[in-house]
Amino acid sequence: MCGIVGIIGNEEAAPLIVEALKRLEYRGYDSAGIATLHDGQIDRRRAPGKLRNLGALLGKDPLPGVIGIGHTRWATHGAPTENNAHPHASDSVAVVHNGIIENFRELRDELTAKGHVFATETDTEVTVHLVTENLRRGMDPVAAAQAAVKRFDGAFALVIMFRGDEDLLIGTRRGSPLAVGYGDGEMYFGSDAFALAPFTNRVTYLEEGDLAVLRRSGATIFDVKDNRVERPIVLTQAGAALVDKGNHRHFMAKEIYEQPEVLGHTVHAYVNGVTESVALPKSSIDWSAVTKLTMVACGTSSIATNIAQYWFEQLAQLPSGTDIASEFRYRDTVLIPGGVSLFVSQSGETADTLAALKHARAAGQKIASVVNVAESSMARESDAVYPTHAGPEIGVASTKAFVCQLGVLASLAIAAGRARGVLPRDAEIRLTRRLLEMPRLIGEALKQEEIIASIAQEIAKARDVLFMGRGLSYPIAMEGALKLKEISYIHAEGYAAGELKHGPIALIDENVPVIVIAPHDALFEKTISNMQEVMARGGKVLLISDKRGHELAGDNVWMRIEIPECDPVFAPLVSAVPVQLLAYYTALAKGTDVDQPRNLAKSVTVE
Ligand code: G6P
């Protein structure tokens, strides 16, 4: 899972490729590399670690050439070393790859038997040797690439550059995205339109199985059966400006603080404050007739679906289920006629979620998506798209996209409730009013920053942390644990408060902080009883609750964070804030790389 770029231009390609790679680092940052042609020969620079290491290398040892390919890697096969960094090359071709070639062992054995010598531990290297082998057998570059691709199992986007031809790049995709960019006498490949935005806003999104042959004069595209096809050129809205951190130390902090504003934009896109009703974008989905809602996502987006399940059941009485994308498609999930499958994703590109979407479509479901990237693959493949308006999210740990997903999902649940005739008009009025108040209340929750920063100094000393909550606060407990793990590397688990006594309570001692999320709602007393069980066993409790909750919960808790009082239905939107800030300040205390934590990537484009 990686970002790939290709440029056939008229000026030095390497600096432009670095520019594009900066915009793709969200797809991985384990290593980076560039190959160009100069005097017809392939030359490469590669460096382990973040893109800045490659930049430093190119500063010392520039790479000339007006044609080139580049890569930023999230390692799958082979450690993130310089040797395993892309582009991979033979004496005749250089290749960058996003995805996994699943049958690489078989191909490697076959090619080794033919005398090819493999230099890396990657799956990608077979692509280099297979295309090289085809060229040796007399095929021209297009035939060599087409024949090679037919041998690959798995998901991939590839861009191939050929020794001796400074006017040719071939790119192909199956499963992983690839876009073609049209410049003025220059042509581009990129994993997404955002990477190409500094050069052009005219792009073609290649379709499944397409292979594109780029020359300065334009693109020739072949479909999966090698027939020539025309694909539309669209004007992308992707902005050329790189987002900056403003006055914040990290993107994550900036994004946490943007939440009132972007949630406001998002909610106002769905809720009409004058009519106090929800209006959904027009689509072919009739929410009054939906028989079952199946929500599928990964990571933090999946936690948003867990919260949404409560809303769809409570507000719309809609039979609902949630699933993790990587599990969903390999189970024999029963998808009943008339069902809608709803996919939630910040990027709209997560490989597992995208594959799950295709699986649900094949099973005859209507497809809806909640995505933050309007031009993403998931958006393009959905019957109904419900966008979040979070703006670009750069920090790997999702924050503002999550809160905006909640805003959209809450609106959807209200709309579905109305459409199904189970949510009375007065309830819709009350709920829309309350939802419109949420940006302000999140602003209130952010005011606890200082106290949370000091609490984080204590949390940073822990090796394990437990989070617990009930009802709508249970997914927030999971989100708190996920955030803490992701960026501070402290082991944490999120549990349903009532479930703690069935196992995790055995972990409790004075060294394991227990973070209890308990707004004063219908389940408050129950959660507090579970909190008492923890304290009775010497557990140190950090209680996150509102004013009333803190008054009622007694004096014996270790530390407290206050959240504003709000309608219990929407409490997850405010309780998300302290768990985000707690993870952020704990990570600062531990000195980790907050925006690009180890081993992770913003967008996971491999299975
Ligand atoms: C990665 C990111 C997470 C994100 C998840 C799902 O793991 O690090 O922050 O929640 O992918 O991504 P998506 O773009 O589908 O929401």
The position carrying tokens 């902005």 is 239
Q: What percent of the chain has pLDDT over 70?
A: 100
Higher per-residue pLDDT: 30 or 210: 210
> Does residue 527 carry a pLDDT above 80?
yes
Q: Of 2, 298, 404, 566, which one is the catalytic site residue?
A: 2
For residue 605, pLDDT over 80 is answered with no
**Cβ–Cβ contacts within 10 Å for residue 241, how many?**
8
Q: In whole angstroms, what is the distance from residue 37 CA to residue 529 CA?
A: 69
Task: Give, for 295, the enclosing helix (H) or strand (E).
Answer: strand 293-297
Would you say 484 and 490 are in contact if contact means Cβ atoms under 8 Å apart?
Answer: yes
Q: What is the pTM of this model?
A: 0.87
**382 CA to centre of ligand 1 in angstroms:** 19
Q: In what order do the strands lie in the sheet with 320-324?
A: 320-324, 293-297, 340-345, 366-371, 384-385
**Helices 13-22 and 51-60 meet at what angle, rounded to 10?**
160
The structure tokens listed for 378 are 């998931």
Q: CATH 3.60.20.10 occupies which residues in the chain?
A: 3-247
* 344 Cα to the center of ligand 1, angstroms: 10
326-337: average pLDDT: 91
150 is catalytic: no
CB 428 within 8 A of CB 276: yes
Q: How far is the CA of 25 from the centre of ligand 1 (A)?
A: 14
* Segment 561-573 mean pLDDT: 97
CATH topology of domain 3-247: Glutamine Phosphoribosylpyrophosphate, subunit 1, domain 1 (3.60.20)
Phi/psi class of residue 65: alpha, beta or left (left: φ > 0; alpha: ψ in -120 to 50)?
A: left
CA 63 centroid distance within chain: 32
Structure tokens at 229: 């096809």
**Calpha distance 390→374 (Å, rounded):** 11
Over residues 209-237, the pLDDT tens digits come to 999 999 999 999 999 999 999 999 999 88
Confidence label for 463 from pLDDT (cuts 50, 70 and 90): very high
Rg (CA), the chain: 25
pLDDT score at 159: 98
400 CA to centre of ligand 1 in angstroms: 12
Rounded Cα distance between 439 and 425, Å, is: 23
Helix pair 400-419, 259-270: axis angle to 10 deg: 20
Residue 297 CA, closest ligand 1 atom number: 15
Q: Which atom of ligand 1 is nearest to the CA of 298?
A: 6
**Region at 55 (left for phi over 0; alpha for psi -120 to 50; beta for the rest):** alpha
Q: Where in the chain is the domain with CATH 3.40.50.10490?
A: 260-445, 447-590
* 3-state class (DSSP) for residue 113: helix
Span 66-117, pLDDT tens digits: 999 999 998 888 888 999 999 999 999 999 999 889 999 999 999 999 999 9
Q: What is the pLDDT of residue 374?
A: 86
CB contact at 8 A, 492 and 467: yes
Note whether 20 and 64 are within 8 A (CB).
no
CB 246 within 8 A of CB 385: no
| For ligand 1, atom 7: residue with the closest CA | 299
Distance 310 CA to ligand 1 centre (A): 22
| Ligand 1, CB cutoff 6 Å, lining residues | 298-301, 345-347, 350, 353, 396-398, 600, 602-604
CA 347 to ligand 1: nearest atom: 14
Atom of ligand 1 nearest to the CA of 396: 8
Residue 284 has a CB neighbour count (10 Å cut-off) of 9
Q: What is the pLDDT, as a whole number, of residue 203? A: 96
Among 196, 170, 153, CA closest to 607: 153
Give the span between the Cα atoms of 311 and 431, in whole angstroms.
11
| Res 74: pLDDT | 87
Q: What is the mean pLDDT of the chain?
A: 95
Q: Report residue 1's pLDDT band, with 50, 70 and 90 as the boundaries.
A: low
Fold of 260-445: Rossmann fold (3.40.50)
Q: Tokens 């059966």 belong to which residue?
A: 225
Q: Is 602 a catalytic residue?
A: yes
Taking alpha carbons only, the member of 271, 199, 200 closest to residue 234 is 200
User: pLDDT digit string (tens) for 159-192?
Assistant: 999 999 999 999 999 988 899 999 999 999 999 8
Q: How far does CA 463 lie from the centroid of its chain? A: 27
**137: CB partners within 8 A, 6+ apart:** none
Q: pLDDT-derived band of residue 242, with 50, 70 and 90 as boundaries?
A: confident
Identify the pLDDT of residue 246: 84
Query: CATH class for domain 447-590?
Result: alpha beta
